Structures are given as structure tokens and as C-alpha cells.
Amino acid sequence: MHKALFVGIEAGPTHQEDAAEFLRGALEPVEHEQDTRHWYALRFGPADFAIFDTFPGNAGRLKHLFGTVGRALVVKTFTILNGLPEIEPADILALKVPAADALPRLALHVPLEARDGAEEEVARFLQGARSAVEREPGTLSWYALRLGKTRFAIVDTFADEAGREAHLSGEVGTALSGSAASLFAGPPQIHRAQILAFKIASAGDEERTSRNTSVARPLEGGTV
């Protein structure tokens, strides 16, 4: 099963743009990590950031955690960050693989908490949602994650706002809302993000797209 990391990062009060620039700069060392297949630097709000990345197995994930970017994050805790990053390892239950030439600019992060006794039903629901997402041309990539016994999440990326809104109002978004009472401990919380930088590599790393994406201004809010 493929592995992932979701790393929540909060910038210090006067270091919001420093944190954004650090994440854009983190792309360069990640480019040299063969087992870091997909890597996204996300901005949810003025001070709220994250890194989401995927790996073929535990070895690549551990190598990344103790690599250049992981060590630099610890150092930045004492200079520009407001506390330690929140590192959440995950198993990937299902995914829509992005094309090697995809150019994602926007993302969603949807954490989910399963009701007691509904954990495996949630896992099956997320695995089954993949076929619907595959039919969404505006959804460039989609990752269904399991972070623990009851904790799940969805991370997906889009080229533009039209694709993101089409996904939210589409088959999977509607099914999530309709299943909230029976499957989840609470309604899904939808977090919107801009993508500051990304790396997308093929399985053999023969093809790769990566880019720092310019952001005109900080987002005013990240949770809807």
C-alpha cells in the first residue's frame, strides 16, 4: 500500500511570507528524492500551511522525514514557525494519479472522523469513490487517506476554481454530505488551499512536472 504524509505548519505572527518562501524553496531538495513521488506545498490561510506528499513505501517516507526538508522544518520551528509541525502519516486507500504534465494550482483537504463501528464502511466508501473521481476532468489528482483507526481524509488538486467547485457539487461531494449522519462523527470540514509548489513524478520517475506557483496575496480564510 502506498504511503503519505500530511504535515500541518503554522507560521509565526510576523513570518507568514517567510514560511511561504521556505515552502517554495523546499521544492529543490525534494526534486532529488526519487521516492517522494507527489509533493505539494499548500497554503490554507495567512499563517496556515501544509505539506502533502506520497511515497511507494515506508522506506521512502522515512528517508524524506529525515532528509533536507524534514531537518530544515525542525530548524525553522525556532525562527519562523509557531511550534512544531504536526506530522500525520497515512496509508493511501485509493487515488487518482495525476498526469505527469498536470499543473495544479488549488487543493482541498477534507479530514473525516468515522463513527464508532463504521470505520471499515468508511474505508470501503472512500475506495469506491475513486471510479467517480476518475470521471471528473477537472479533478487532477485525488487521494483517499487512512490516518488511524477512525481518522480518514481526502486531499485533491485542481487547475482552477471551476474544477474545484465541480468536484464539490459532484457525485463524491454529494455522497459525502448524504452519508455524513450514518458514517461520520460529524459533518465533513472542507479546507481550501492554494498550491505554492509541487512535484509530480511517474512511477519510474522518467517524467516529472514541478513548479513554484505564484500567489497574488494570502488567502483570507481556509475553512468553509
pLDDT in tens, 15-58: 999 999 999 999 999 999 999 999 999 999 999 999 999 999 99
Cell of 205: 520517475
The chain-wide mean pLDDT, for the chain, equals: 90
pLDDT in tens, 81-94: 999 999 999 999 99
Position 206 in a domain: no
Position 96 in a domain: yes
Domain total of the chain: 1
Position 223 in a domain: no
Domain hosting 63: range is: 3-201
More confidently predicted of 205 and 157: 157
Position 207 in a domain: no
Position 218 in a domain: no
Burial 84-109 (b: 16+ CB within 10 A, else e): ebeebbbebbbbbbbeeebbbbbbbb
DSSP codes, 111-126: EEEBPTT-HHHHHHHH
Domain with residue 64: its CATH number is 3.30.70.100
pLDDT in tens, 62-112: 999 999 999 999 999 999 999 999 999 999 999 999 998 899 999 999 999
Q: How far apart are CA 116 and CA 81, in angstroms?
A: 35
Q: At residue 122, does pLDDT exceed 80?
A: yes
Position 83 in a domain: yes
Other CB atoms within a 10 A radius of the CB of residue 82 amount to: 13
Position 79 in a domain: yes
Q: At residue 155, does pLDDT exceed 80?
A: yes
Given a contact cutoff of 8 angstroms between Cβ atoms, the answer to whether 48 and 222 are in contact is yes
Q: What is the DSSP letter of 186?
A: S
Given a contact cutoff of 8 angstroms between Cβ atoms, the answer to whether 63 and 3 are in contact is no
pLDDT confidence of residue 222: 36
Position 48 in a domain: yes
pTM of the model: 0.90
Confidence of residue 181 (pLDDT cuts 50, 70, 90): confident
pLDDT confidence of residue 180: 82
